[in-house]
Structure 1
Amino acid sequence: MSGTFMHIVRSQGVLGLYNGLSASLLRQMTYSTVRFGVYEELKRRATADGSKPSLPLLIGLSTFSGFLGGISGNAADVTNVRMQQDAALPEAQRRHYKHGLDGMFRMLREEGVRSWFRGVWPNSTRAALMNASQLASYDTFKAWLMTYTPLGDTTTTHFASSLLAGFVATTICSPVDVIKSRVMSTSHQQGIAHLLSEIYAKEGIKWMFKGWVPAFLRLGP
């Protein structure tokens, strides 16, 4: 990770670390708005009688809302992945998207509406896993800390719960994250089974946790 960091700074400057920022913000405005909003609304309705939600219920609600979020944010996610990887491509293959919206609409013109849904199944699966492992584990860790430690409902409890939830979510989602990024970065259709066999042949089982450290450094905070 540190080698990649320094390579980007040397070749593109500090601003190179922010490639795809507009697409990333656009993704959060679609993906995170839906996954958080739907989850909290469903949880509110499920506990309207004052009951405490069980862990299976939280996992079910967060999985469903995450899946919806993955679908809604897919087009921006494809654009984000492509903008971040553009500088690594040979000049003739670079897309040079100006910003997130430019990338989305160029994809629509040049590749058709199906390009907006490239990798939608691994992305939605990843979003469902992310939501379930992040939101459900956050609520669970927070309840445990409030019950079994003297911390109470404090800022420290919220930060600790968030960090632990980020660790769980990063670990569970890592394999799907790798698949999602590689499917989205291409301009042609490629079967997931073929992609998996190709990755495994070249990289072995370690492919599942490639990029875990930067993923956690992004998600944990």
Structure 2
Amino acid sequence: MAPTPFTPNPPSTPTQVSSMPAKKKEPYPFWLGGVAATIAASITHPLDLTKVRLQASGDTRMLSSLQKTIRTAGIRGLYDGISGTWMRQMSYSMCRFWAYEESKKMLDATSPAAPAWKLGLAGSMAGGIAGLVGNPGEIVMVRLQGDFAKPPEKRFNYKHCFDALFRMVREEGTSSLARGVGPNVFRAVLMNASQLASYDFFKASLLATPYFDDNIYCHFTASFAAGTVATTVCSPADVLKSRIMNASGPGSSSTISTIRSALSTEGPLFIFKGWVPAWMRLQPTTILIFLTLEQLKRGVDWVRA
């Protein structure tokens, strides 16, 4: 009887591993940007206070303005209007970070390779929205910070941010909440297009090189560059905003009249008045905002994991 020929076993079919689709990463809480901005602004408040007083008063030098504040109100005077800063950050800044992320989704600009023009457009859209939403908080912050730079008879003498808000509505009408909204929205568009978009752009550019990883050194470098860009781009609108919001009386909120008056008395370079304190304030603020925001995001990732 002939032996049965040996038939090799057919190659085994690879086991089909049922792979679940990768879970889509949850978005970060919308309030992270507001918290990061509030922490940063609290640290740099004395510099922001000095910048506003340089722009809105007759002070000409940063150090002399700081000395004047300490001489007239003590060390605590460097934190005049801190409640207005908190109100502004938790309205304007929270809104702008949320709107920026949503705008990037709409424009399909969430990937690291997103073109700069899409990032800039997303930042501009976010700035327009946040500038409108945060305008009352912006006015309150500017008035609280600039009050002690004025003669006693011209001060608002608000107790805190909510007192300022209620008194503005009661004494000046609801329309006072929209004072300076044009320059404020314009500045917000410039700020977000130059700060948020440039941070994402610089960060992606650094990560594309072999010298940087996604760590604190990369975040610091990108935020330093973004702060310098944002200060220069936003200076003209920032000066106009501070002067208009600090003004009182009929006709004093006109952008055109403010520009004409400043041009006739100070010349065209008035739009860069306070650039150094603005840079010294915005630079550490920008760095602190993004470093804090990145760490908050890592904290959220850790909790979720």
Partner Cα distance (2:246, 2:85) in 1: 15
Which whole-Å deviations, capped at 9, do the CAs of 1:122-154 have from their partners, x for residues lacking one?
Answer: 001000100000011111111221223511222
1:67-106, aligned counterparts within 5 Å? 67-106=128-167
- Bigger share in helix: 1
Structure 1's unaligned 5+ residue stretches are: none
Match of 1:41 in 2: 102
Larger Rg: 2
By how many angstroms is 1:217 displaced? 1.7
State the partner residue of 1:198.
Answer: 261
Larger mean Cα displacement after TM superposition, 40-49 or 193-202 = 40-49
- TM-score between both structures, scaled by the size of structure 2: 0.69
Query: What is the CA distance between 1:51 and its match in structure 2?
Result: 8.0
Normalised by the length of structure 1, the TM-score is: 0.95
Structure 1 CA distance for aligned equivalents of residues 278 and 73 of structure 2: 21
The structure showing larger relative contact order (alpha-carbon pairs under 8 Å, at least 6 residues apart) is 2
- Number of the residue aligned with 2:183: 122
Q: Does 1:154 find its partner at 2:204? A: no
Structure 2 segments unaligned to the other structure (5+ residues): 1-61, 285-305
1:46 CA drift (Å): 3.8
Residues in 2 aligned to 1:49 and 1:220: alpha-carbon distance in whole angstroms = 25
SS at the partner of 1:148?
A: coil
CA RMSD of superposed structures (Å)? 1.6
Between 1:177-186 and 1:33-42, the stretch displaced more is: 33-42
One-letter code aligned to 2:275: W
Over 3 Å counting, the alpha-carbon distance change for 1:51 and 1:213 in structure 2 is closer
2:208 partner SS: helix
Name the CA shift for 1:148/1:17 in 2 (closer, same or farther; >3 Å). Answer: same
1:51 & 1:153 partners in 2: Cα distance? Answer: 12
How many residues of Structure 1 are paired with residues of Structure 2 in the alignment?
Answer: 221
8 Å contact kept, 1:46–1:53: no
Q: Tell me the distance in 2 between the aligned counterparts of 1:10 and 1:200.
A: 31
Q: Which position in structure 2 is the counterpart of 1:20?
A: 81
